[in-house]
Amino acid sequence: MQDTVTSLISNYDTTGRYLDSSAIDSLRTYFTTGADRVKVAAMISANAAEISREAGKQLFEEVPELLRPGGNAYTTRRYAACLRDMDYYLRYSSYAVVAGNDDVLMERVLQGLRETYNSLGVPIAPTVQGIQIMKQMVKDMASDAGVTDASFIDQPFDFICREVSELSV
């Protein structure tokens, strides 16, 4: 897993270039948001169970057919698996928030996920919807905690959604 700094330096080192103004700006932005990134990760960690549970509750209110017979969250086992997956997405998103890099998502969450979801017949749209609900909850909590620019929160959640959405193409 790499963070923004190691990824950027690795890319420049591979091509044998010095850091240019674009690289310096990218580093400046990463370090400027560092305290807020750590604050958001700590907030997610302290509230993870509540975030996952409330996001699941909201998702099932918006898409109640998931809980009905034949739905992907029908039965206690499937319901628990859905909430477990939402918690995974949340936890790994918190890692990516701190790193400022999506590598951890590819390495730990998304590799093999396509095949697993396809083989299990997991519906993609509700999965994406649940991830977006969690993203909004985290952004709202960050705003309440005084984080003025929470745009960095979008990156990992949106990355997961884009990658998962490609499943149903």
Known binding-site residue numbers for (2R,3E)-phycocyanobilin: 72, 77, 82
Instruction: Give CA–CA dist 112/77, Å, rounded.
Output: 21
Give φ, ψ of 70 to 5 degrees: 95, -15
Q: What is the DSSP string of 150-165?
A: -GGGHHHHHHHHHHHH
Instruction: Give CA–CA dist 87/65, Å, rounded.
Output: 21
Sequence-distant (6+) residues with CB within 8 A of 25 are: none
| Binding residue positions | 72, 77, 82
